[in-house]
Chain A
Amino acid sequence: MTDTRAFVRGLGAAAAVLGALAFVVGAPVRPERAARDTIISAATRDALVEPAMETVSALQLAQWIRDGRPGLRVLDLRDSSAFETRHIPSAESFGLMQLPSVLPKPGETIVLYSDDDLRDAQGAAWLAEVGHTRVHVLRGGMSAWMREVIDPVVQGDSAAAIAALSRYFGGVPRAATPNDNAGVARTRPAARVQSATDEFGVVARRGC
């Protein structure tokens, strides 16, 4: 019995030490990694001088998420029920009005998306005002994600790579058929309430 008590005291001491160290360290990121991400190349510096609204494609974002790009934050600006129904993996749900309170961090890359170009643009502008320098907007928003990553029609040289990327996110890549026109966006009728498992059979919800 006494060794259990000693063991428990040891655990408590370890927790106290780790907690105190956490206070000292502040952010759960190693200094070398944070520093590496702030060393910018000349090309990046040029791009940063004018923090305009940079766009990024859904496939590029998918690659960033899969590869675990350091400092990546994906912000979903849609309302919470849309977020709950389906969102890009690793995305955080934010209201437009909350963006100005997001503190800039060295080495971050922020990607905004929603289903409204105007909202994205406003969000990017506000973030730039608050000091963020690497803010991207997902070109085409959530529908582009669905169209290019989850339900892509693949053909050509990069078909295999895109298909692998799509499957990583639970997508169902399909080969182009004569009926598909490459580059023509297919619209899907919006369901009144979208089930968490839409026609692709992939569950996007996380419950508790």
Chain B
Amino acid sequence: MIAPLPFDFANGTQPSLAGALGVGIAFGWCLERAGLGSAPKLMGQFTLRDMTVLKVMFSAIVTAMLGLFWLSWLGVVDLARVAVPPTFIGPQIAGGIVFGAGMALAGLCPGTSCVAAATGRLDGLTVAGGLFAGVLGAGLAVPTIARFYESGSRGTLAMPAALGVARGTVTFAVVAGALAAFALAGRIERAMAARAGAGRVRQ
């Protein structure tokens, strides 16, 4: 096994931070190129006019997921050494709902707010400021909701283990689901465009 390379074990060392910077720059570049640094474009997803968010996110997930599967199969990556975020069922569902609501209000997510701020968007800067305050306040409040916060802990639980199926099966299902979602997204975009076109003609 070659990868992951041992840079992350001693977090804070030069090689690991150089990697972080490089990955971050590429990440920011891709987000901006896709137009996700612009709140109106991002929110087009949630008003069903512009499916960019769905296309970008699920293309990325499918690409990385397939990459991990096949690099592991080739023996290049050791999946056991890749850090998986732990699962906390209740908090992540509740946190997801709260996060999604906040995102629709703000028009940007944490990563895209940084891209927006960097390109001069004052709304992006404001979202980032709000994020800081929100994380600070919620962080201070964690001890008071400690029981809920730690509830539903399942450790690093991946879907193959949870469903009792092979990883390849879940991988295939995610790919199939994403391709179906892309087909649906295309239909929705065409339908919304047709509606907008019809409206203009009527005027």
Contact = CB atoms under 8 A, between A and B. Distances in A.
Direct interface between A and B, CB < 8 A: yes
B11 A202 contact: yes
Given A16-B175, A90-B81, A94-B155, A168 B9 contact: yes
B164 interface: yes
Contact of A170 (B9, B154, B156): B9
Given A16-B175, A18-B175, A28-B70, A95 B75 contact: no
A68 B77 CA distance: 10
A177 B92 CA distance: 49
Given A19-B66, A22-B69, A202-B11, A93 B156 contact: yes
B175 A206 contact: no
A23 to B, nearest CB: 4
B81 A30 contact: no
A81 B146 CA distance: 11
Contact of A22 (B85, B150, B172, B182): B172
Contact of A92 (B74, B156, B168): B156
Interface residues of A, number: 50
B87 to A, nearest CB: 9
Contact of B73 (A28, A81, A203): A28
A39 B91 CA distance: 44
Interface in A7-35: 11-12, 15-16, 18-20, 22-30, 33
A27 B166 contact: yes
A19 B1 CA distance: 23
A27 B78 contact: no
A198 to B, nearest CB: 13
Contacts, number: 125
A11 B59 CA distance: 10
A54 interface: no
A80 interface: yes
Chain B contact patch, size range: 35 or more
Given A26-B167, A68-B78, A103-B164, A15 B11 contact: no
B155 A83 contact: yes
Given A27-B168, A29-B72, A92 B155 contact: yes
A30 B182 contact: no
A202 B16 CA distance: 13
Nearest to A80: B153
Interface in B31-47: none
The secondary-structure label for the interface of chain B is: helix
Contact of B74 (A30, A95, A102, A202): A30
A41 interface: no
B131 interface: no
Contacts of B166: 26-27
Contact of A26 (B72, B79, B164, B169): B169
Contact of A89 (B62, B81, B164, B171): B81
Nearest to B66: A18
B167 A27 contact: yes
B140 interface: no
A202 B12 contact: yes
Given A22-B171, A103-B164, A167-B10, A83 B75 contact: no
Interface of B: 1, 6, 9-12, 59, 62-63, 66, 68-70, 72-75, 78-81, 83-86, 88, 150, 153-156, 161, 164, 166-169, 171-172, 174-176, 178-179, 182
18 contacts: A18-B175, A27-B168, A28-B68, A28-B70, A28-B168, A30-B74, A68-B81, A80-B153, A80-B155, A83-B86, A92-B80, A93-B155, A95-B155, A98-B154, A98-B155, A168-B6, A170-B9, A202-B11
Q: Which 6 A-B pairs have the closest CB atoms?
A: A19-B175, A93-B155, A170-B10, A23-B172, A68-B1, A28-B72
